[in-house]
Amino acid sequence: MLILVAMIAVPIIEIAVFIEAGDALGLWPTIGVVILTAIIGTALLRHQGLATLGRVRESMDAGRLPVAELFDGMCLLVAGALLLTPGFVTDGVGLLLFMPPFRLILRALMARRLKAHGDFQMHTQNHPQGFDATIIEGEFQEVHNEEGDPDPGRPLPPPDRS
């Protein structure tokens, strides 16, 4: 129901704001501002998105769940979509989502709400000290001697890449 209301209300609000902005600025400056916010949104999304991806990798390399970083990434995705959507109200909300202090407040509010009203479970895997969780992928080929037994002393032939 909330989505239906938003899908009806947001375009109506945007049209009203467009009319007022067009009256105040004129047609071409209003169109220029809409295009400029889309360009700015794309640049911000690229810059902050790559930085967030780097923080996700750092958290995972340190063995931590990148919950905050993934939330930031989700906010950036929504912000980019809102800035690419023509409209001043959606641009305002999109620009807010690009601001780290706003995302921090939003994350805290959502976490508080989830703790109070939501039922969620989180499972982690703890490794003993000194455990190397590095996964190395590769190919292997078992080599057998003439009797069919593995011959560990014989070097492996190069892999068949065909």
Residue 62 has pLDDT above 80, yes or no: yes
Position with higher pLDDT, 125 vs 56: 56
State the average pLDDT over residues 27-34: 91
What does pTM read for this prediction? 0.63
State the average pLDDT over residues 63-90: 87
- Lowest-pLDDT choice from 1-10, 26-35, 82-91, 140-149: 140-149
pLDDT bin (cut points 50, 70, 90) of residue 37 is confident
First-to-last alpha carbon distance for the chain, in angstroms, is 56
pLDDT bin (cut points 50, 70, 90) of residue 30 is very high
* pLDDT score, position 124: 56
Query: Which two structure tokens, joined as six digits, stand for 161?
Result: 């890449």
State the average pLDDT over residues 7-11: 91
- pLDDT tens string 111-133: 888 777 766 565 555 555 665 66
How far, in Å, are 12, 39, 93, 96 from residue 32 at the CA level? 21, 11, 19, 21
Query: Which two structure tokens, joined as six digits, stand for 85?
Result: 């959507």
Number of residues assigned to the chain:
162
Q: What does the alpha-carbon distance between residue 19 and residue 27 come to, in Å, rounded to a whole number?
A: 9
β-bridge mates for residue 68, sequence order: none
State the average pLDDT over residues 135-156: 63
Residue 93 CA neighbour count, 13 Å, CB half: 14
